Structure 1
Amino acid sequence: MPSTSSSPAAVPGAPSTLWRDRDFRRLWVGQTVSQLGEHTSLVVLPLFAVLTLHTGAGQLGALRAVEQAPILPLSLFVGAWVDRWRPRALMVAADAGRALALAAVAVAGLLGGLGLPALFVVAFAVGALSVLFDVAYQASLVRLVARDQLVRGNSALEGSRSAAQIGGPALGGALVTALSAPIAAAAGASFFTLSFLSIRRIGRRESVPERPAHPPRIGRHIHEGLRFVAGDPTLRAVCLASAAFQFFLSAVTTCCLLFLSRELRLPGTVVGSVLAAAGPGALLGSLLAARLPGRFGRGAVLLSAAVLGDGAFLLLPALHGSPAVTVPALLAVNVVFGTCGQLVNVTLMAVRQAVTPDGMQGRTAATINFAGMGLTPLGSLLGGFLADALGTRTGLLVTAAGMLLSPAVMALSPLGRLGRTLPAPPDTPAATGAHDRDR
């Protein structure tokens, strides 16, 4: 159903008013700093384990798996909750919980009690609350602005998320190396506190889908979301491509952290800077996502960007020599990956939101998140296993080759045939015509 907001941002045909809407800016600020805190904390704990506790590849893979493990049991339930309740209230609760968890780690670390068991506990808690926030923010935008503002608003939110996803590791690496793990954890807690304050200040009452007198049980609600995604060819393809990408990206990341720090012997600050190189690329990708799909067709852009961005990792195992040679090459690879990855991400998000009715936004996002991010713990374990069994260089080559499975899925699905226009939701009269035009 369309948004019921009466603010200027919700007025159809007035996209220029989006950034003048104070509540949208508060959502954007809150989401941005929350994502920065999330991705900073995701690298603070593994780098602390590698550089300070000298953990092996298997332990590092297990730690990253624990960070990502809550996705599997929680995503579908969170999606059902989001479609029933107010997403912003759930976002505020998630921010408060993560701030407290990281603050507790900071205190324990300063008192000398920060060890591997504590890192496992905090990683799981932060991961669980991140699942809640990530699903809720995707549904929150739909209830804050009108449908004709979704592409612009989603591009802004996804642009900041992707930039934080890449910039967070750089900040985390710098904080752990230059200061200490407890101080880095305290910085992460401050990010979540800022997000809590910003989102809580949103004054507009968000719309909530009408609830029947006897709402279905949570299990049936979840089943409806699963059936909806599985029954739509476009959403099914998004789900499978996301699963392949996230699984192998998680494996590549585990191998890459070991490869950069042990094979190439780069310090933590350099590792963080290399990973951050995708940040400028993500910004460029956001700009390209507003132009290229409408000009060349969404399918052509998705396939070319996915092949180029994911395939760039195949160059990493060939790197040898001094930092003067390897660091520029690493920076170039990450810029390409950031640009292409952001282009794919924003394009896919727009397609997903376009074909999904408002009352299914939370469950659709959660289902795709469940299928995609739910496999990341297994990917982390695979990366650690391959690095141990085959060596970090060979393990990185194998996992990087697996990244190309995602564009292969797109090529064999309706995503590869999308044209310049976005498809419409299946329950609208324009749906069939939009799909025909895209072919």
Structure 2
Amino acid sequence: MWRDADFRRLWTGQSASQLGEHTGMVVLPLLALLALDATAGQLGALRAVGQAPIALLSLLVGAWVDRWRTRTTMLLADVGRTVALGVAAAACLLGLLGLPALFALAFVVGTLSVFFDVAYQASLVRLVRRDRLILGNSALEGSRSAAQIGGPALGGALVSLLPAPVAVACGALLFALSSLSIRRIRRIESVPEQSERPPRVWRRIHEGLRFVAGDAVLRAVCLASAAFQLSFAATATVHLLFLSRQLHLSGTAVGLVLAAAGPGALLGSLLAARLPRRFGHGTVLVGAAALGDGVFLCVPALHGSSGKTIAVLLAVGFVFGAGGQLVSVTVMAVRQAVTPDGLQGRVAATITFVGMGLTPIGSLLGGLLAQEWGLRAGLLVAASGMLLSPVVMALSPLARLGRTLPAAHGTPGSPA
């Protein structure tokens, strides 16, 4: 795997892109909280605006990606995010980056991130053999784990220690580095054959939706993802407020606590290359989801900013990261295995649309829970909701998956 130069370039570019994305996920909300004194409702709205492109554009992007070269899509997305954050840094330097501008920035970056994320999920299938999908996904998700380690800590430190324009500009630099690496991919992709008169985009979207709806495994992935993403978006919003305003942690401490999921996710990526083949994909999915999601219920019981509190938060983040990453890698490999090449982008986008498309609602819900019920009660309710995901998995065909990946189901354009 690592002897393949193009795979290394994809891995490097994706790593830099994920680091920029995870840094921005902390920088923008902390700027809103610490520099612009945003309320709980405004913070929830900011997160919702950044996540809205997932619901609005995922299906369209999936249809386009199946007809484009993923290298070109990822490259343009990186360049666009570099420019957007560069302009934002200049606006911040001139004192023009208020909440409205921050909302616009979050939407633009979120839109371009949809293009990058759908494209990189489809790119692996075009670069490696199907029997190496688990290893490839493990390596790519491992890089995302590294970004989860460095991104939140870097974001918290940037906001706490450096001027706001520099904090924003760092994200632009990371996306620029990603574009340079993606640009060096040389392999000509095996883009699925296209007819002289390709079907209209809405018909292509419908083919992806029909394929997912007609496959029991993919339907279960959609439902479990939707349950998790809705609840996690609410939890993440209240969690950030809980750390800064209930436990009174500094920006740097918040970044370190959020970064704790990174080492756990790195462990989860490593385990994903071994555990499914030993215990079965279904057993690993249900067990890892139950452990990773359930551990968050410990957080609302914490008080103060003592070393003991921070230690518990770090442990919770580590377990959550390990379980979540183990689920993510395993689910992605299952999805890629059961999907024909010509539908990879649309299936990825459909699942993203159904699952991640609910995150704006979840973020708004989190802000509402924090505002109306208080931070502690709101966090408890939101975290409890995440347990719906392993329940859905346990009651679905996912729980019965064995030690080997299932074969591709149907053909492009057929539901099964």
TM-score tier by shorter-chain length is: over 0.9
Name the counterpart of 1:235.
218
Which residue of 65, 69, 72 maps to 2:48?
65
Q: Report Cα offsets for 1:402-421 as digits up to 9, x if no partner.
A: 00000011011001111111
Name the counterpart of 1:115.
98
- In the TM superposition, what is the alpha-carbon distance from 1:169 to its structure 2 partner? 2.0
Alpha-carbon distance in 1 for matches of 2:39, 2:149:
24
Which secondary structure state, in structure 1, belongs to the residue aligned with residue 2 of structure 2? helix
Name the counterpart of 1:379.
362
Which secondary structure state, in structure 2, belongs to the residue aligned with residue 210 of structure 1? coil
Which secondary structure state, in structure 1, belongs to the residue aligned with residue 197 of structure 2? coil
Q: Report Cα offsets for 1:128-171 as digits up to 9, x if no partner.
A: 00000000001111112222222211211122124424542221
Which residue of 186, 193, 199 maps to 1:203?
186
Name the counterpart of 1:350.
333
Alpha-carbon distance in 2 for matches of 1:418, 1:208:
29
- In the TM superposition, what is the alpha-carbon distance from 1:52 to its structure 2 partner? 1.1
Name the counterpart of 1:287.
270
Alpha-carbon distance in 2 for matches of 1:205, 1:314:
47
Q: Which moved more, 1:312-321 or 1:219-228?
A: 312-321
2:254 counterpart of 1:268: no
Which residue of 175, 189, 203 maps to 1:192?
175
Name the counterpart of 1:10.
none
Q: Which moved more, 1:158-167 or 1:131-140?
A: 158-167
2:201 counterpart of 1:218: yes
Name the amino acid aligned to 1:398: V
**1:20-419 equivalent positions in 2, closer than 5 A:** 20-165=3-148, 167-419=150-402
Count of matched residue pairs: 411
Q: Which moved more, 1:270-279 or 1:294-303?
A: 294-303
Alpha-carbon distance in 1 for matches of 2:281, 2:184:
37
- In the TM superposition, what is the alpha-carbon distance from 1:362 to its structure 2 partner? 0.4
Change in 2 beyond 3 A, CA 1:342/1:233: same
RMSD between superposed Cα atoms in Å: 1.1
Percent of paired sites with the same residue: 73
Alpha-carbon distance in 2 for matches of 1:210, 1:66:
36
Q: Report Cα offsets for 1:195-249 as digits up to 9, x if no partner.
A: 1111011111112111012211000000000000011000010111111111111
The runs of 5 or more residues in structure 1 that have no matched partner are: 1-17, 429-439
- In the TM superposition, what is the alpha-carbon distance from 1:372 to its structure 2 partner? 0.9
Alpha-carbon distance in 1 for matches of 2:128, 2:378:
45
Instruction: Kindly indicate whether the alpha-carbon contact (under 8 Å) linking 2:138 and 2:270 is maintained by their aligned counterparts in 1.
Output: no
The runs of 5 or more residues in structure 2 that have no matched partner are: 412-416
Give runs of ≥4 in structure 1 deviating > 6 Å.
none
Alpha-carbon distance in 1 for matches of 2:3, 2:277:
25
Alpha-carbon distance in 2 for matches of 1:99, 1:66:
19
**1:8-23 equivalent positions in 2, closer than 5 A:** 18-23=1-6
Name the amino acid aligned to 1:237: A
Instruction: Kindly indicate whether the alpha-carbon contact (under 8 Å) linking 1:48 and 1:181 is maintained by their aligned counterparts in 2.
Output: yes
Instruction: Kindly indicate whether the alpha-carbon contact (under 8 Å) linking 2:12 and 2:181 is maintained by their aligned counterparts in 1.
Output: yes
Name the amino acid aligned to 1:124: F
Alpha-carbon distance in 1 for matches of 2:324, 2:310:
21
- In the TM superposition, what is the alpha-carbon distance from 1:180 to its structure 2 partner? 2.6
Which secondary structure state, in structure 2, belongs to the residue aligned with residue 215 of structure 1? coil
Name the counterpart of 1:12.
none
